Amino acid sequence: MLAVKIMSRILKLLTILSFSALIVVVLMQVTGRYTPVTFVWTEELSRFLFIFSIAFAAPVAMEKREYVRVDLLISILPEKIRRYYDALIYLVLGIFSASMINYAYQFSLAGQNQSSATLTVKMFYIYSSMTIIFIFLALYSFLNIYHVIKQNSEKGVEQ
């Protein structure tokens, strides 16, 4: 579990860094509209930072079980059945995410020979965000199955 905590902290740090950089770049873009100094690359970089912010933050939300859910009908179920229902949902999400890892990696390989227009970044690195998100979503889905069934805690994996 120490490795999971370290991964979670790294994902949280990367989320904070990428989102903070996104805010700075967007502020540069907005202020550039009203000053003679403009930056051509801010639109593209803000798009890439937004993609990676989501790629790092989505697994953190999965870890803490903070995805939006409609539990109107689920709330009337007994606690034990609700736990198994939640475990089933995490199992489906985990299987789906795990099955998408190979396809996401194949898609990222398609970007090896492409570069972005203004930043000239290899698109492989941008497309690899999909591989990152599916790996960590699968991991945290399977960990949440264990925690939902064994610990009946609503706090998340970091128990």
The tens digit of pLDDT for each residue in 16-47 reads 999 999 999 999 999 999 999 889 999 999 99
Averaged pLDDT of the chain: 92
The tens digit of pLDDT for each residue in 81-114 reads 989 999 999 999 999 999 999 999 999 999 999 9
Q: Please state the domain extents for the chain.
A: 2-151
Q: What three-state secondary structure class fits 45? A: helix
Q: Do residues 37 and 13 make contact, with C-beta atoms less than 8 angstroms apart?
A: no
Q: Is 76's pLDDT higher than 70?
A: yes
DSSP letter assigned to residue 152: -
Closest CA to 7 of 59, 73, 48: 59
